[in-house]
Chain A
Amino acid sequence: MISMEALMALGLGVVTATGVYLLLRGRTFPVVLGLTLIGYAVNVFIFLMGRLWSNANAILIDDGVVADPLPQALVLTAIVIGFATTGFVIELALRSRHENGSDHVDGHLTDNSKADV
């Protein structure tokens, strides 16, 4: 039986690797997608750092087992900030595309990146 921890770690690894791959692309759209994926992975990572609990209360009730509530609060903050910054970076990418006439992150196509279209 594979443990829940190993499963989560594996999933996080795949998402992060995908995110890093997309982040290294030449066009702004995959870069934004990459940032978003990395953001998701980080949010789940914070959540896991409070340890995985099964069958535990989310809030303090009597004297039962309670899951660590702090990472949940942190994730909430991180999601809000990530959402705002993603919105901003999309708008910025659109403006940059408009100003530079290309959605390449360097503002123009280089010889190396033409094949990358």
Chain B
Amino acid sequence: MNSLFDFWWQHAPVLSVLLPFFTAVLLLAVGDAGGMAAQGGAHDVGRLRWSRRLAMASVVLGLIMAGAMVWKASLGELMVYRLGDWPAPFGIVLVIDRLSGLMVLLTYLVAVPVAWYATGGWDARGRYFHALFQFQLMGLCGAFLTGDMFNLFVFFEILLIASYVLLLHGQGKERFRMGVHYVVLNLSASALFLIGLAMLYSVTGTLNMTDMAVRVAQLSGDSALLAKAAALVLLVVFGLKAALVPLYFWLPGTYAAASAPVAALFAIMTKVGVYSIIRTHWVIFGADAGEASLAAADWLLPLALTTSVLGVLGALAARSMNRMVAYLTVSSVGTIMAGVGMFTPDTLSAALYYALHSTIVVAGLFLLIELLAAQRGDAGDALKPAQAVREPILLGLMMLFGAASAAGLPPLPGFIGKLMILQSSHGLVAQPWVWAVVLLVGFLSMVGLARAGAILFWHVQPAPSSYDASGGSSLKLMSATWACMAMTLALAVVASPVKQYTDDAAAQLTDRAAYQRAVLGDLGNSTRPYTGER
């Protein structure tokens, strides 16, 4: 057992990428269970059952692996995996540090209930749901674990291509319409990503993130300006993924059009953008990056605060629950980025805690909305009076937890996260702005969510006579949604150890020397600075 664990840890980063990959390949081999099973062939029902078992086994195993990874990372060791044993910076490396371990764990914390929810019927309404889901997980894990900028681009593409198809899952006019927008926007962003990456490569001559951090610090004059320009190009790209102002307009429509489990999984997608901004602008262009240091500092905080305000205004104006939660996602990204944009370890730690909470709660809310909409007859998720839901207590409690946490009421983690952000901004120049915006946004979210809750649960109309009032949500859907809400509550209970962990994660990111030792080893200074000369 012990030797098995050692073997796993030795290959942990690559196994986290390979597990969803091989599961996806197996699921493809099992065959398309979805589209056919709805028509009721016994053979296809068997296929569907097997693909569900396979997918669930894989995400649970992935969750266990991610948990073990976080446990190992919490000890402070940097795990560097050299693919093909090529020495860094020449080969591709995968790195587990506290931040990447945490993000992989968060991915699986969302993925397990969402996959479980999807087995309740959504996976039969289209083709290859579980295989695409696994490809998406592969892209997410890879993006979080890689220590190489170009490899980050490749994993971005993998997770995007899977997300393009997942977005269309279930089909329908609206999904295709939003799908075209989403795909075209992301392809343009990928082109910009390559441009930024190529510019960075042209001045540093490396793609390894750690090596790049070393090289950027050595730049001066024109090269430093070019590097700064590249950093801002990358900020546009990651800002689009994270849905920062003015690049968030795609998000509400897209998320509202997606099927419930897909929208819930997409809650983690904006965090890929946040994560990449931390890696690029926090670490590579961090405080000690020489002339190009803090390239994004002037932009990030104002953009983040504006995003937060505009997001919550959108939520107030939304006429359907799906759109409202999508706008709350935008708003929460703004709050997270405010923590990142203040560029101190304390604020980053607070932002990470808030990111954990907001991802899980948003995923839970997307699932909950579908349960609610299914019981409201023709009104669906529209915010207008309709017949009463059949399970007002179970669903109403979840709505209360989710809404109170999203708005930031004590004792839920949304409150703790916001408090951490407020506290950590103490003494900074931006403090009044951050306090004003975070508190205002909290208040407005509460108003919006209270209004939505009142309409959904209290403002009821008599049901039409043909309406069958018996039967509720299936146990599967209900348990998956409760799992998300329970995790939110648990996050409040374990707030102290989690905060300790995020504190350590933020401190670890500032320790550049440790990364150089771990990733580059003795090779660190043996390659000459890249000038493009012969």
Q: Is the interface of B mostly helix, strand, loop or mixed?
A: helix
Q: Is residue A70 contacting chain B, with contact meaning CB distance below 8 A?
A: yes
- List A contacts of B173 (CB < 8 A): 99-100, 107
Please, how many angstroms separate the alpha-carbon atoms of A42 and B173 in the complex?
32
User: Interface readout for B50-72 with A: 1 if CB under 8 Å, 0 if not?
Assistant: 00000000000000000000000
Report B169 CB to chain A, min CB distance, Å: 13
CA distance A99 to B195 in the complex (A): 34
Q: Is the CB of B198 within 8 A of A99?
A: no
CB distance from A30 to the nearest CB of B (A): 11
Across the interface, name the chain A residue whose C-beta is closest to B184. Answer: A31
A92 and B176 contacting across the interface, CB-CB below 8 Å: yes
B313 to chain A, nearest CB (A): 23
Question: Across the interface, do A85 and B180 meet the contact criterion of CB distance under 8 Å?
Answer: no
The stretch of B34-42, B186-194, B355-363, B515-523 in contact with A is B186-194
Q: Give 1 or 0 for each of B329-341: 1 = CB within 8 Å of chain A CB.
A: 0000000000000
Contacts of A89 in B (CB 8 A): 180, 183-184, 187
Q: Is B288 an interface residue (CB 8 A)?
A: no
**Chain A residue, CB-CB nearest to B150:** A74
> Given A77-B154, A81-B154, A88-B183, is A38 in contact with B188 using a C-beta cutoff of 8 Å?
yes
- Cα distance A88–B197 in the bound complex, in angstroms: 24
Answer yes or no: B181 CB below 8 A from chain A CBs.
yes
State the CA gap A31–B180 with chains docked (Å): 10
**CB of B202 within 8 A of chain A?**
yes
Whole-angstrom CA separation of A106 from B195 in the bound complex: 28
**A31-46 interface bits toward B, Cβ cutoff 8 Å, 1 = contact, 0 = none:** 1000100110011011
Q: Which of A81, A85, A88, A96 contacts B177 (CB 8 A)?
A: A96
Give every chain A residue within 8 A of B157 (Cβ-Cβ).
81, 85
Q: B188 to chain A: which residues have CB within 8 Å?
A: 23, 35, 38
Which of A42, A56, A70, A77 is the one whose CB lies under 8 Å from B195? A42
Task: Please determine whether A100 and B177 come into contact, CB atoms closer than 8 angstroms.
Answer: yes
- A115 adjacent to chain B (CB < 8 Å): no
Interface 1/0 per residue, B167-186 and A, CB below 8 Å: 01001110011011101100
Q: How far is the CA of A70 from the CA of B205 in the complex (A)?
A: 9
Q: Would you call B164 and A46 a contact (CB within 8 A)?
A: no
B93 CB to nearest A CB, Å: 15
For B150, B157, B168, B184, the residue with the greatest tally of chain A CB atoms inside 10 Å of its CB is B184
| Contact A96 B198, beta carbon cutoff 8 Å | no
Tell me the A30-75 residues at the B interface (CB within 8 Å): 31, 35, 38-39, 42-43, 45-46, 48-51, 56, 65, 70-71, 74
Least CB distance, B84 to chain A, in whole angstroms: 14
Q: Are A51 and B194 in contact (CB under 8 A)?
A: no
Residues of B within 8 A of A65 (CB): 534
The complex places the Cα of A100 from the Cα of B179 at a distance, in Å, of 12
In the bound complex, what is the Cα–Cα distance between A48 and B532 (angstroms)? 11
Q: Check if A88 sits within 8 Å of B161, measured CB to CB.
A: yes
Contact B184 A46, beta carbon cutoff 8 Å: no
Interface string of A96-110 (1 = CB under 8 A from B): 100110000111000
Chain A 73-94 against B: per-residue CB contact (8 Å), 1 yes, 0 no? 0100110010011001100110
The digit string for B306-328, where 1 denotes a CB below 8 A from any CB of A, is 00000000000000000000000
Instruction: Assess whether B176 is in contact with A49, with CB atoms less than 8 Å apart.
Output: no
With A50-B202, A106-B177: A42-B161 Cβ-Cβ less than 8 Å: no
16 residue pairs A–B, Cβ–Cβ below 8 Å: A23-B184, A28-B180, A38-B191, A39-B187, A45-B195, A46-B201, A65-B534, A70-B207, A74-B150, A81-B157, A88-B161, A88-B183, A89-B180, A105-B181, A105-B184, A107-B180
Top 10 A-B pairs, shortest CB-CB distance: A107-B177, A49-B202, A49-B198, A96-B176, A46-B198, A99-B176, A51-B532, A42-B191, A42-B194, A38-B191
| Residues of A bordering B, CB below 8 Å | 23, 28, 31, 35, 38-39, 42-43, 45-46, 48-51, 56, 65, 70-71, 74, 77-78, 81, 84-85, 88-89, 92-93, 95-96, 99-100, 105-107
